[in-house]
């Protein structure tokens, strides 16, 4: 308790001064993390984010002291699920091989992108 013996005044506690400002500091950190989560393109933009400040006040029997605990929790949007299409086939020896199916995307110049690890199907291209 901050007591000024010259004036007899006592500094009243509020949320900003509780635990020397630690509660507000944690809430501000959670708020900054919420901003980062909102700007993350891997999360759904319209999901609601929450920063919660919970205060528990437990007075003693004669009501002269109060144990005050605080907790800052956050609930953010989770990452969007990723998607990959996997094709399964068997090798000659019976071993199962998994490969990811990828589209042959046209680039912006209108030419087809080619993968370097693809074996050509025509004999003349294989040379």
CB-based contacts of 13-16 (< 8 A; 24+ apart in sequence): 15/53
How far is residue 127's CA from residue 116's CA, in Å, rounded to a whole number? 14
User: 23: burial class by Cβ within 10 Å (0-12, 13-18, 19+)?
Assistant: buried
pLDDT digits (tens, 9 = 90+) for 31-60: 999 999 999 999 999 999 999 999 999 999
pLDDT of 127 reads 55
pLDDT of 4 reads 75
The DSSP output letter for 112 is B
Which residues sit opposite 10 in a β-bridge? 3
pLDDT of 81 reads 87
pLDDT of 78 reads 93
CB atoms within 10 A of CB 110: 6
Which are the contacts of 115, defined by CB distance < 8 A and separation ≥ 6?
102
């Amino acid at each position: 308790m901050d007591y000024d013996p010259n004036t007899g005044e006592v500094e009243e506690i509020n949320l900003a001064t509780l635990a020397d400002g630690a509660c507000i500091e944690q809430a501000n950190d959670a708020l900054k993390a919420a901003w980062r989560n909102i700007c993350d393109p891997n999360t759904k933009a319209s999901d609601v984010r929450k920063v919660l400040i919970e205060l528990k006040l437990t007075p003693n029997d004669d009501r002269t002291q109060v144990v005050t605990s605080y907790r800052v929790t956050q609930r953010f949007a989770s990452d969007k699920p990723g998607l990959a299409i996997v094709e399964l086939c068997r090798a000659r020896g019976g071993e199962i091989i998994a490969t990811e199916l990828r589209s042959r995307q046209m680039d912006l110049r209108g030419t087809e992108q080619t993968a370097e690890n693809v074996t050509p199907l025509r004999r003349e291209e294989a040379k």
